Each structure stands twice: as C-alpha cells, then as structure tokens.
C-alpha cells in the first residue's frame, strides 16, 4: 500500500489550529507552521491561545500521540509534508471592503520557495473569487524547476464554538480545480468524513471559492431578513419570535438563523459579505452587490436600534446613567470579540457618557484588551448592581437562565432590553421588570 500523505498546515490561527488537530485525529502526520513563535510555543505545549470548546483536549491528545507538532520554520514544515493546507487569515483591508490577501500570497510563496519535491497546495482560507487562479501563477513563478506543484481550493465552513465538530464531521467537502491525482489525495485525507456521509463535491476553482462566500452571504441575508421583519412586527404589534418559529416549520425555510436581534458579527460574516459586495461590484454583478449592501446596512442598523432603545429607557440621554451589559462576545461559546455587536453597543453607550459595566462568561479578557475603558464585572449580579437599565446582548445560556427575581432587587429601576430575543418576557415581567425586546410587543 502507498504511504498516507503527510500534511502541513500553514497558519495556525482559528482555522489552522483546529484543522491541524483534526487531521492528526484522523490519523495523519501533521506539522503546523506559524510565523508567530509565541503561538508555536503555546500550541506545542497543547495550549490553545483562544477559547474553543474541546480543542484543548484534542490538541494535547494529538501532540502527545506524536502525530502533531508545530514549528516556526517554514522550510521544515514544507520539507516534512506532501500536502500543504493554507489556513492564514484574509482580514478586511483598512481602507476598503476588499479582502487583504497579503498573508495568503506570502503563505503560497513561502511554501513554493521551500518545495523539495512534488506537492499539493490546498487553499482553505476564504478568498475573493479569482484569487486561486492568480495564486497558481505565483506558484508557477516561484516553485523550483523540476518540481510538480498543484494548487486547489478546499473551503472551510467551520463555526466558532463548534470548530472541532465541524472539522471532523463537515456537512460537505468542496474541492475546486483538482486533477485526478489531487482529487485522489484529498479523498484519502477526507476518507472518514466522506465514509460518514459527507458529499465530496469536485468543481472548478471559482465555484469552490464562491461556495464559501455564498454560504456566508446567505446566512447573513437570512439574519437581516428576519431583522427587517422584526421592524415590521414592532410597528404592527406582532411578535417576531413566534413568527420565526412558525416560519421555521416550512422545511424550505428552516428555523435556523431566524433569531432576530442585535445581528451578526465576528471574524467572518461581516468581512465576507463586504468582500463579496466589493468583488461582485468589480465583476459588474451589481444586483448581488446591492443586495449585500442592504444586508450589511440592516445589520448595522440593529446596533443603532438597541442604542436608541437604551437611550429611551434612560429617559432620553445616557449621560452618567448606569448601564449593565450582559455579554461581550459576538455570540455564545466563544471569547471572540471581533466586530462584536455586543461590545460595539457597549462602547457606543460609554462614548455617549454612560457608566457601562460588562459581564461575559468567557470574553471579558479579550473585551478588556479591545476596550479597556469600559467597566468589567466578575459576575452578572455585579454588572447589574444599581443600574438604570440592563441589556442582554449575547445569549450565553447562563445569562438567559439568570433568575429575574433575584436580579430585579439589585437594580435601581428593573428595566431590561433583550436584544437577542431569548429571555422569557412573561417571567421577567412577573418578576417586576419593565421588559423590552426587539421585534416584540411592548409591555
């Protein structure tokens, strides 16, 4: 039998660290490369530099098994592997909506320059359509003569908070631009998820690149759709939470991603829809561009809406008012505050003169690093103590389950705004709260 391919993972951030650990768990020899030596040192000890349920355990297990190691020497990583997964970030550019591709280009160049034999380069980062074919040009220019190097695209769909599960049990495996040999190699790498039922979809390069951004654009559109309808609900005296449940029973629609509220944030959805908006515009696909522009505007408008509701609850101005904020992460089960709607609202209220105290079960440290001037409490109780209004901004289960009666006694006025549609309005009202929710009937 032929030897199983040895794998390298270039870039060990969120995506790369999870992919490396998961591939080792599937039985492959894996080396993770990162330019940041402190990241490499932490990962080598089995320490994950961010909060992701289950990843610590998996990493320790795989490092101890001897299948997984990390290095900051790219030549070492490349020379010890046959398949190289590019997992570096594609952040939004500082001055436009376009994606910054410098890390992806640097990664492909670094792999290409260090190739010592035939190799397969597999792009996993989220990139604007057309990038992979340009990277092929870069690879052809940079790879040593006599080496057969192929580049394909294999987008990653993992969610934060469910990264391990999503990587080990993906809904589908999409591979773009693969030759017969490349496809065979990747079918070997993904044999287990495919055996469990994940479809293996082989397509051209641009389709593979677009599947990823379209998936994110669709999810974002679904959220902005329900948030737009929430506005109609409020004006008409309807309840969007009940409406979403009723809509969700239609199998063509489905209940997921129909939670109205503060909207989407994080390191992916916002930047990916903006990058697609930009790229679609460049390609002359103006309908897609305009649609996504609306999706983004509706989403950002939700933050303004919650700021306005908080201001109203404080009697027209938040100046010197005490506001308790429950949740800072962009969603539950993560300590990620990148483009977090919750932290964004908290910071805006602080800038308008409110005394804001934030509690988050996991994200206080990352939030403090981003916004050191906000107040941070060690518990939900401490955060709401003596406040004029309480905002639920991230629906952590432990925040949703808080005892409304016990909390009411701690605040000055027992006013709450549920910006995630997750609190039991009846129970909170019964406990004495003046309760307001987005897209829900006022008390």
With a CB cutoff of 8 Å and minimum separation 6, the contacts of 429 are: 435, 443
Coarse DSSP helix, strand, coil percentages of the chain, rounded to the nearest 5 percent: 45, 15, 40
21 binds ligand UDX per the rule CB under 6 A = no
Backbone CA torsion sign across 403, 407, 413, 419: negative
DSSP character string of 394-415? S--HHHHT--HHHHHTTSSS-E
Closer of 139 and 337 to ligand UDX (Cβ): 337
Q: Is residue 268 annotated as part of the catalytic site, yes or no? A: yes
Closer of 240 and 269 to ligand UDX (Cβ): 269
324 binds ligand UDX per the rule CB under 6 A = no
Alpha helices in 12-116 (DSSP H): 14-25, 37-44, 55-65, 74-79, 102-113
Residues contributing to the annotated binding site for NAD(+): 34, 39, 90, 126, 160, 271, 338
Long-range CB pairs of 265-268 (<8 Å, 24+ gap) are 265/330, 265/331, 265/338, 265/339, 265/340, 265/341, 265/342, 265/344, 266/160, 266/330, 266/331, 266/334, 266/336, 266/338, 266/339, 266/340, 267/14, 267/160, 267/336, 267/338, 267/339, 268/126, 268/216
User: Which residue is associated with the tokens 């990038």?
Assistant: 131
Among the listed residues 8, 92, 125, 216, the single contact to ligand UDX using CB under 6 A = 216
Within 10 angstroms of residue 138's Cβ, the number of other Cβ atoms is 15
Bridge partner residues of 121 (DSSP): 84, 151
52 binds ligand UDX per the rule CB under 6 A = no
Closer of 24 and 240 to ligand UDX (Cβ): 240
Among the listed residues 44, 80, 157, 194, the single contact to ligand UDX using CB under 6 A = 157
Among the listed residues 43, 223, 291, 314, the single contact to ligand UDX using CB under 6 A = 223
331 binds ligand UDX per the rule CB under 6 A = yes
Task: State how far the Cα of 242 lies from the Cα of 286, in Å rounded to an integer.
Answer: 35
Closer of 5 and 437 to ligand UDX (Cβ): 437
Closer of 157 and 200 to ligand UDX (Cβ): 157
- Binding region for ligand UDX (CB under 6 A) out of 5-13, 137-145, 154-162, 357-365: 154-162
Closer of 318 and 329 to ligand UDX (Cβ): 329
Closer of 104 and 223 to ligand UDX (Cβ): 223
Nearest distance from residue 321's CB to ligand UDX, in Å?
A: 26
418 binds ligand UDX per the rule CB under 6 A = no
Reported in sequence order, the residue ranges of 343-433 that DSSP labels E, i.e. its strands, are: 355-359, 375-376, 389-392, 415-418
Give the total of residues touching ligand UDX (CB under 6 A).
19
Of residues 247-286, those binding ligand UDX (CB under 6 A):
257-259, 261, 263-266, 268-269
Find, among 203, 218, 178, the residue nearest to 83 by Cα.
178
Bin 263: left if φ > 0, else alpha if -120 < ψ < 50, else beta: left
Residues contributing to the annotated binding site for substrate: 157-160, 212, 257-261, 265, 331
Nearest distance from residue 181's CB to ligand UDX, in Å?
A: 28
What is the x/- site pattern for ligand UDX, positions 168-197, by CB under 6 A? Answer: ------------------------------
219 binds ligand UDX per the rule CB under 6 A = yes
160 binds ligand UDX per the rule CB under 6 A = yes
Catalytic residue, chosen from 87, 233, 268, 314, is 268
Q: Nearest-5° angle of CA 264, CA 266, CA 270?
A: 60
Bridge partner residues of 70 (DSSP): 32
Task: State how far the Cα of 124 lies from the Cα of 112, in Å rounded to an integer.
Answer: 16
Task: For residue 437, give both structure tokens.
Answer: 């929710």
With a CB cutoff of 8 Å and minimum separation 6, the contacts of 179 are: 150
17 binds ligand UDX per the rule CB under 6 A = no
- Binding region for ligand UDX (CB under 6 A) out of 3-11, 151-159, 308-316, 367-375: 151-159
Nearest distance from residue 369's CB to ligand UDX, in Å?
A: 19
330 binds ligand UDX per the rule CB under 6 A = yes
Find, among 303, 226, 292, the residue nearest to 262 by Cα.
303
158 binds ligand UDX per the rule CB under 6 A = yes
Q: Where do contacts with ligand UDX occur on this chain (CB under 6 A)?
A: 157-160, 216, 219, 223, 257-259, 261, 263-266, 268-269, 330-331
Residues serving a catalytic function are 268
């Amino acid at each position: 039998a032929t030897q199983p391919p040895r794998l390298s993972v270039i870039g060990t951030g969120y995506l790369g660290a999870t992919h490396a650990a998961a591939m080792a768990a599937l039985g492959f020899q894996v080396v993770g490369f990162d330019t940041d030596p402190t990241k490499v040192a932490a990962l080598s000890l089995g320490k994950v530099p961010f909060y992701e349920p289950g990843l610590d355990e998996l990493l320790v297990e795989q490092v101890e098994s001897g299948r997984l190691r990390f290095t900051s020497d790219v030549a070492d990583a490349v020379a010890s592997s046959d398949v190289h997964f590019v997992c570096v970030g594609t952040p939004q550019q500082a001055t436009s909506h376009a994606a910054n591709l410098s890390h992806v280009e640097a990664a492909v160049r670094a792999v290409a320059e260090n190739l010592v034999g035939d190799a397969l380069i597999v792009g996993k980062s989220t990139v604007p359509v057309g990038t992979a074919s340009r990277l092929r040009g870069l690879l052809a220019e940079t790879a040593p003569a006599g080496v057969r190097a192929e580049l394909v695209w294999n987008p990653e769909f993992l969610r934060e908070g469910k990264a391990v599960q999503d990587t080990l049990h993906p809904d589908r495996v999409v591979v773009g631009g693969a030759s017969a040999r490349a496809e065979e190699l990747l079918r070997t790498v993904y044999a287990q998820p495919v055996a469990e039922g994940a479809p293996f979809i082989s397509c051209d390069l641009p389709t593979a690149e677009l599947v990823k951004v379209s998936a994110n654009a669709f999810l974002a559109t679904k959220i902005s759709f329900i948030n737009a309808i929430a506005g109609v609900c409020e004006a008409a005296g309807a309840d969007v939470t009940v409406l979403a449940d009723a809509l969700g029973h239609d199998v063509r629609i489905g209940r997921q991603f129909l939670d109205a509220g503060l909207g989407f944030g994080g390191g992916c959805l916002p930047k990916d829809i903006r990058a697609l908006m930009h790229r679609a515009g460049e390609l002359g696909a103006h309908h897609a561009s305009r649609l996504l522009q609306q999706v983004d505007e509706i989403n950002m408008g939700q933050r303004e809406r919650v700021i306005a509701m908080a201001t109203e609850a404080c009697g027209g101005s938040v100046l010197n008012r005490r506001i308790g904020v429950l949740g800072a992460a962009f969603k539950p089960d993560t300590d990620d505050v990148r483009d977090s709607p919750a932290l964004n609202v908290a910071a805006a209220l602080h800038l308008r003169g409110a005394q804001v105290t934030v509690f988050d079960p996991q994200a206080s440290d990352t939030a403090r690093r981003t916004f050191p001037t906000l107040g941070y409490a060690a518990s939900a109780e401490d955060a709401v103590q003596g406040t004029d209004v309480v905002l639920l901004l991230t629906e952590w289960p432990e925040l949703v389950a808080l005892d409304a009666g016990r909390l009411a006694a701690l605040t000055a006025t027992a006013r709450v705004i549920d910006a995630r549609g997750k609190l039991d309005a009846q129970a909170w009202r019964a406990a004495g709260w003046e309760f307001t929710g987005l897209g829900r009937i006022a008390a």
